[in-house]
Amino acid sequence: MPVERVDWQKVMSPNPSEIQVTWLGHACFLVQMDGMAILTDPVWSDRCTPVDGFGPVRYRPPPCKLTELPPIDIVLISHNHVDHLDLFTVRCLGNIPLWFAPLGHREWFAAEGIDRLIEMNWWDSYPLGPSIDIVCLPAQHWSKRGLFDDMTSLWSGWAVLGCRKLFFAGDTGYGPAFKEIGKKFGPFDLALIPIGAYEPRWMMSCQHVEPSESVSIHLDIESRQSVGMHWGTWILTNEDVYEPPLKLKQEVARRNIESSSFIALNHGQTFATSPVASKPLFSSSPNPTHPPTDNVTLVDVL
């Protein structure tokens, strides 16, 4: 699974009628839509730890430097775990972008001199001008950053509702909230859904989905196109590092879903939604074998 060179021509000239995403590892994407550049859960540190010198080390580096990205307008933070909220990256981005985080994060950001923070509860909506809304969405997870701060801040997913609609799941187990999200805001043009860090199930099932549940989220929220995340960057759990995209591919085929509607990208790869209506969720053939589109390469681990 290579780390691709970022296609800077695409990144610097996104099609305004599309949602374009570049996977930067784990749960971090550069999202370009409605004239905005958005980062989700950005982490550029080598170690996934609150303590220097300890914790999991990246086995695939970020595909670019943080300073190489276009100016960032918005950062979406799902929760305070160190693989999603990185102090080094927060300090690098500083008070320039507008930060969105679920309730309970203001004091932490203020300590870093950041006051451009919008704190939100589940189902809250924040208008960005007349045609774009940021919505904080429920997720099934938990929060902890230090020794004595268990569950003192909220966790969430996010929706960006503009000319097109984006769903970012954050970090989550599977639950009934996703069908409600689909009823309220679906269908989504693009969804970023975790597919990794799920073994052993007796321990992880309440907090991290495995690929069959990822596909259920894809269907529940009525996503036309989904991209897998939360894998391939740090060893956090027991499954083989190559397993999540393989299981995803198998589950998509098992459910007779259009093969290109839920994909895994290589690190650094850019993918854009179609500017026209997406394909239906289900293929008309019992065993779909559609090749990937020109601008996306499925991670092939078979």
Q: How many CB atoms lie within 10 A of CB 176?
A: 10
pLDDT at 55: 76
Q: How many CB atoms lie within 10 A of CB 284?
A: 8
Name the residue type at position 150.
D
Kindly report the pTM of this predicted structure.
0.89
**142 Cβ partners below 8 Å, 6+ apart?**
79, 150, 151, 155, 207
For 18-44, the pLDDT digits (tens) are 999 999 999 999 999 999 999 999 999
Question: Rg for the chain (alpha carbons), in Å?
Answer: 18
pLDDT at 194: 97
Q: Rounded to an integer, what distance in angstroms lies between the CA atom of residue 132 and that of residue 297?
A: 30
CATH 1.10.10.10 fits 8-272, yes or no: no
SS3 243: helix
Phi, psi of 215 (to 5 degrees): -65, -35
CA-wise closest residue to 42 among 10, 66, 11:
66
The DSSP secondary-structure symbol of 241 reads T
For 140-153, the pLDDT digits (tens) are 988 888 777 787 89
For 98-119, the pLDDT digits (tens) are 999 999 999 999 999 999 999 9
Task: Give the DSSP H/E element, type plus range, for residue 119.
Answer: strand 117-120
The DSSP secondary-structure symbol of 30 reads E
Question: Residue 293 in contact with residue 260, Cβ under 8 Å?
Answer: yes
**How large is the average pLDDT for residues 201-214?**
92
The H-assigned helical ranges of 29-122 are 87-93, 106-111
* Domain ranges across the chain: 8-272
For 50-61, the pLDDT digits (tens) are 666 677 899 999
pLDDT at 213: 97
Q: Rounded to an integer, what distance in angstroms lies between the CA atom of residue 32 and that of residue 150?
A: 34
pLDDT confidence band for 287 (50 / 70 / 90): very low
In the chain the first and final C-alpha atoms are separated, in Å, by 12
Q: How many CB atoms lie within 10 A of CB 148?
A: 7
Q: Rounded to an integer, what distance in angstroms lies between the CA atom of residue 57 and that of residue 60?
A: 9
Q: Rounded to an integer, what distance in angstroms lies between the CA atom of residue 101 and that of residue 117?
A: 7
For 209-232, the pLDDT digits (tens) are 999 999 999 999 999 999 999 999
Q: Could you tell me the two tokens for 17?
A: 């009628």
Q: Rounded to an integer, what distance in angstroms lies between the CA atom of residue 95 and that of residue 256?
A: 46
pLDDT at 279: 41
Instruction: Assess whether pLDDT exceeds 90 at residue 154.
Output: yes
Q: Is 225 exposed, middle or buried (0-12, 13-18, 19+ CB in 10 A)?
A: buried
Question: Residue 190 in contact with residue 164, Cβ under 8 Å?
Answer: yes
**How large is the average pLDDT for residues 278-282?**
39
CA-wise closest residue to 113 among 136, 91, 83, 87:
91
Q: How many CB atoms lie within 10 A of CB 135?
A: 22
Instruction: Assess whether pLDDT exceeds 80 at residue 296.
Output: no
